[in-house]
Amino acid sequence: MATEAMHNTTELSLLRERLADLEHEVGRLRDESEIRKVQYTYGYFIDKSQYNEVVDLFAEDGVVWFLGGIYKGKAGVRRLYIERFQTAFTDGHNGPRYGWLLDHPQLQMVIDVAPDRQTAKVRGRSTMQAGLHESAKGQQRAWWEGGIYENDYVKEDGVWKIKALRYFPFWHGSFAEGWAKTPIDFIPMAKTVYPEDPLGPDALIEPAPRLWPATDIVSFHYPHPVTGRPIEIDNSRAREGFADS
């Protein structure tokens, strides 16, 4: 009887451990789904210039990396999305304007939730189509753009928020001529910080990123999924032809 009772106790303990593992795994999968929803929604909000809603996706101490600059905290995030983008693209209106195209599809997301399920890292990509229709007021233009995200997420009071959105633009190109004829350093990187530049970042990224035809690899936050080894980065030939590389 004692042996049988001991066996039953051991079996019950193993079942409880197994249940705890399954509950943790279900929770992790739920976290992935919620993070994916936030990141996808970020793309939808940007599409239609809903910049107020974009700011609400960030943690209070969230940051954004954009075109060589780092915007820190909610004040920095608002400066970028509302004071800069909303003013420039929609004349201060929170929402779409006639003739303005700004598609930001969110693609190829790899999500890794930390074991304690309080933080996460996300790698993804966006391939953007943008421009202003010829019948709309303003300078008519149309261009393509693509870039990589390496983002951090944090769970605050049970809600997933963007902790760091790091956007590494890779290439720009006009719709008419394509990316093959994109001028070197077609889109300038940030060079002046806030408050000297009232709409500028709080800090600069060093070294400054370069656009196509540079082809730098953005470091992966996760190891090789098959070998388990860190993914080696060799950018030694990524900037051939750049005089100051």
* 203-204/100-103 β-pairing: unpaired
Given a contact cutoff of 8 angstroms between Cβ atoms, the answer to whether 201 and 217 are in contact is no
Q: What is the pLDDT of residue 241?
A: 74
The C-alpha atoms of residue 238 and residue 245 are separated, in whole angstroms, by 9
| Domain contains 230 | no
Q: Residue 139 — pLDDT band, cuts 50, 70, 90?
A: confident
Domain count, the chain: 1
Mean pLDDT for the stretch of residues 50-74: 98
Q: Is the pLDDT of residue 98 over 90?
A: yes
| Domain contains 188 | yes
The C-alpha atoms of residue 214 and residue 191 are separated, in whole angstroms, by 19
Rg (CA), the chain: 22
The per-residue DSSP string of 13-55 comes to HHHHHHHHHHHHHHHHHHHHHHHHHHHHHHHHHHHTT-HHHHH
Given a contact cutoff of 8 angstroms between Cβ atoms, the answer to whether 137 and 33 are in contact is no
| Domain contains 228 | no
Looking at per-residue confidence, does 220 or 185 come out higher?
A: 220
- CATH number (domain holding residue 55): 3.10.450.50
Q: What is the pLDDT of residue 15?
A: 79
Q: Is the pLDDT of residue 244 over 60?
A: no
Cα dist. 204→33, 83, 194 in Å? 33, 19, 10
| Domain contains 242 | no
| Conformational region of residue 49, where left means phi above 0, alpha means psi within -120 to 50, and beta covers everything else | left
Q: What is the pLDDT of residue 174?
A: 87
| Domain contains 25 | yes
Residue among 222, 162, 126 nearest 37 (CA): 162
> pLDDT tens digits, residue range 28-39?
999 999 999 999
| Domain contains 179 | yes
Looking at per-residue confidence, does 17 or 51 come out higher?
A: 51
- Is the peptide bond between 207 and the residue preceding it cis, with omega within 30 degrees of 0? yes
Q: What is the pLDDT of residue 145?
A: 94
Print the domain residue range for 175: 2-204
Amino acid at 210: R
Instruction: Count Cβ atoms within 10 A of the Cβ of residue 236 and give its class: 0-12 exposed, 13-18 middle, 19 or more buried.
Output: exposed
Q: What is the pLDDT of residue 91?
A: 92
The C-alpha atoms of residue 65 and residue 72 are separated, in whole angstroms, by 9
Average pLDDT, the chain: 93
> pLDDT tens digits, residue range 196-215?
999 999 999 998 899 999 99
